[in-house]
Amino acid sequence: MPEGHLVHRHADEQHAALSGRVVRATSPQGRFDARPYDGRPVTEVEAVGKHLLYHVDGAPAIHVHLGMRGLFLRHADPSAVPKPGTRLRLATDEVAYDLIAPLQCEPLGPQALAALRASLGPDPLRGDATRSEAVERLTAFRGPVGAAVLDQGVWAGIGNAWRAELLFLTGLHPGAGGIGLDAAARLWEAATAYMPLGRDAGQIVSDPDAPDERWVYKRERCRRCGAAVRTWQLASRTAYACPVDQPG
């Protein structure tokens, strides 16, 4: 599933291409009613955690969650024939974006949109997120920190790869419970420092000097010390930890 850095990357690119422009909206697959959006200007494309939102003048927001299989295709030629399974196409005279196989693609009115926002914790990639709220939500979670950071109601946008790497960078064991204020603040600072690098690069970046490498995620041995990386199931996902750098 694309993590928040990739959803923000999609949102930033599409905002630059579509905002302020009238779009031709269609559903080649026929599973989304695009008629309320056709011929209207897009006012904003934004990401909130793993959710992407299109704001269109005079119409409900379009809410997209890519899930495990969803993807966007960009066509420099807006007349290009869409691939089978295209749920939504938004096109201008210069470009077209196709949404294929999303988990969710639905209209959201003001109340539903407010409910979605309220269900999500602070997003490290959004300017309206505050460290104080992030620390408060994380320290209030009753369970291991490795479960907390995957709970989108605690922090929005973090998935399994970022969990592994951010916890390593801050020396926190995924199974640690009762995380304190200082550790929570340190983890938030790491998320706000590294996730923008990932957004800009289009991949997880946990070491700016070696952006294609990971410290523990999907590694047999820790890249820092060489110890065998421990793995186990935590919050229905594989957790990774170095027994030396993240003692538990």
Residues catalogued as catalytic: 2-3, 50, 237
| Cα distance between residue 119 and residue 90, in whole Å | 27
Q: Which of 48, 57, 94, 54 is nearest to 74 (CA)?
A: 94
Cα–Cα distance for residue pair 211/14, rounded to 1 Å: 25
End-to-end CA distance of the chain: 28
What stretch of H or E contains 152? none
Closest CA to 26 of 83, 88, 94: 88
Question: In the chain, which ranges are continuous DSSP H helix?
Answer: 4-18, 110-119, 131-140, 145-148, 160-169, 181-201
What are the residues whose beta carbons fall under 8 Å from the beta carbon of 183, sequence distance 6 or more?
145, 170, 172
